[in-house]
Amino acid sequence: MIAEHEITARVPFAGSDIPSDAVINSCVHCGLCLPACPTYRETGLEQFSPRGRIYLMKAVADGRIGMESAVFQEQMSACLNCRACEAVCPSGVLYGQILEASRTQIEQAKADGRLPPHPWPARLLRFGAFGVLFRRPGLFRLFSRLMWLYQKSGLQALARRSGALRALKLDETEALLPPICDRFTIPEGQVLPAEGAERFTVALLTGCIMSTAFADVHEATIRVLRKNGCTVILPPDQGCCGALHAHGGDLNGARDLARQNIAAFEGLGVDAIIVNAAGCGSTLKEYGHLLHDDPQWKDRADRFSAKVKDVTEFLATLDLNTVDMRPLNLTVTYQEPCHLAHAQRISAQPRQLLRAIPGVTLREMQESSLCCGSAGIYNITQPDMATRLGERKLNHAEATGAEVIVTANPGCHLQLESGLRRRGSKMQVRHIVEVLDEAYKR
Ligand code: SF4
Ligand code: SF4
């Protein structure tokens, strides 16, 4: 196992998943992306900007520095992969692709001994999360049940009061743990008929975190879809979407999960594959790229991705059933998940749906589409920047005077709820389908 001081030569990109030269070279260094970048906005430093990070990737690609460079590794981790830069770039630089490839290069070099490995707690965390929990839905559900027991038994309250979590430096991570839904999971394999005349048949991605901690959001999604004439299928044998793997430098892990999901959904003959988590939806829509080098799966992946729709994107194309809604008398503000606004470019549709609900007032917050700092496991790996961005977001949300922050992604949901708890705020966080569902409850 190589140590830091033993690296004598530059460590180049190598093997598979090398960041594309064509994409790196499509950056013309105009700097128009800088104001959109949350880490640049917070630091004002070029190396914390998209342009600075692309420059570092190019330096490794050209052999001017190697992957052992501390600043290269630091910046590949410090980026949120929020893709706000990609959405505003006039040259169409596919930043997410080269970032994920760069992270995969670092992880491959750490695994095969060309770079020093992660410290053992990080190795354990990566193995437990990427290699075990998010690969095996059964184990993930078992883990969720244990977390539920931890919360309901009073152990959580005791651990928080005793200071043990702080002593183990686990207090900030533990604070992100969502209240696990009492019902644990949405049973897969069911077909739930449309209410009234059937207009569409759709399949729902149940996923990992959404099917356990946010099982109630899935239930609300199913009720809202059925109210709008959709028969909803919950295909068995599906798994995690692979977003955490792709964002965390394990593209092969993401590919395995993509193949599992494509096999689980193809052949159903549905009109759409519905996703209610922005990060999952953007990954599912990119399965075609993920498997572009695999001749057996590429076309199947493209066909699968073409059917994927975020639930807000899908509902906004329907003649939304407002007849069955009751007025809510609710003031909300909308926090845009990055992977909805920037990666999928879905921004107007959630607002359109909120405005369609009688009695809902939408008050826009400043910087609604600036990342809240959640970004997958970023709030665990980069807690300082994550907290700064979370506080910035909550300041803007509270300034609206709204009662509820509406969002559409579990990571944002957890990050915002944890920040509100820290502040002792009475504001609530809700998924957009929960608000729609409430309006349908007479
Ligand atoms: S990524 Fe795009 S916007 Fe940013 S500097 Fe390069 S070309 Fe300009
Ligand atoms: S993905 Fe987000 S954090 Fe990373 S460089 Fe682009 S705008 Fe900045």
Q: Which fold has domain 4-111?
A: Fumarate Reductase Iron-sulfur Protein; Chain B, domain 2 (1.10.1060)
Query: Is 24's C-beta closer than 6 angstroms to any atom of ligand 1?
Result: no
CATH number for the domain running over 325-440: 3.40.50.11810
Query: Is 53's C-beta closer than 6 angstroms to any atom of ligand 2?
Result: yes
CATH number for the domain running over 191-316: 1.20.1050.140
Continuous segment of H or E residues that includes residue 416: helix 410-423
For residue 36, how far is its CA from the centre of ligand 1 (angstroms)? 11
Dihedral sign for Cα 183, 185, 190, 195, please. Answer: positive
For residue 253, how far is its CA from the centre of ligand 2 (angstroms)? 23
| Mutate which of 29, 48, 95, 392 for ligand 2 pocket (most atoms within 8 A of beta carbon) | 95
The residues facing 406 across adjacent strands are 334, 430
Query: Is 337's C-beta closer than 6 angstroms to any atom of ligand 2?
Result: no
Tokens of 100: 């994920």
Q: Which residue has its alpha carbon closest to ligand 2 atom 6?
A: 85
Ligand 1 atom index nearest CA of 88: 3
Tokens of 75: 């910046």
Ligand 2 atom index nearest CA of 33: 7
Nearest bound ligand to CA 85? 2
Query: Is 103's C-beta closer than 6 angstroms to any atom of ligand 2?
Result: no
Instruction: Calculate Rg over the CA atoms of the chain.
Output: 22
Give the C-alpha separation, 384 to 321, whole Å: 44
The 3-class secondary structure across 92-121, one letter per residue, is CCCHHHHHHHHHHHHHHHHHCCCCCCCCHH
Task: Please tell me the pTM assigned to this model.
Answer: 0.90
For residue 30, how far is its CA from the centre of ligand 2 (angstroms)? 15
Mark residue 184 as left, alpha or beta (left: phi above 0; alpha: psi -120 to 50; beta: remaining): left
Give the C-alpha separation, 87 to 337, whole Å: 13
Main-chain phi, psi angles of 359, to 5 degrees? 85, 0
Give the C-alpha separation, 249 to 4, whole Å: 20
List per-residue pLDDT tens for the chain, 442 residues long. 566 666 667 999 999 999 999 999 999 999 999 999 999 999 999 999 999 999 999 999 999 999 999 999 999 999 999 999 999 999 999 999 999 999 999 999 999 999 999 888 788 888 888 887 778 877 777 777 777 777 777 787 777 777 776 776 667 667 766 677 666 566 677 899 999 999 999 999 998 877 777 889 999 999 999 999 999 999 998 989 999 999 999 999 999 999 999 999 998 999 999 999 999 999 999 999 999 999 999 999 999 999 999 999 999 999 999 999 999 999 999 999 999 999 999 999 999 999 999 999 999 999 999 999 988 878 778 889 999 999 999 999 999 999 999 999 989 999 999 899 999 999 999 999 999 999 999 6
The residues, ordered by sequence, that sit 6+ positions from 64 with a Cβ below 8 Å of its Cβ are: none
For residue 22, how far is its CA from the centre of ligand 2 (angstroms)? 19
Cα distances from 217 to residues 40, 188, 401, in angstroms, run 34, 15, 25
Q: Please report, for the chain, the start and end positions of each structural domain, with discontinuous segments joined by +.
A: 4-111, 121-174, 191-316, 325-440
Query: Is 29's C-beta closer than 6 angstroms to any atom of ligand 1?
Result: yes
For residue 284, how far is its CA from the centre of ligand 1 (angstroms)? 26
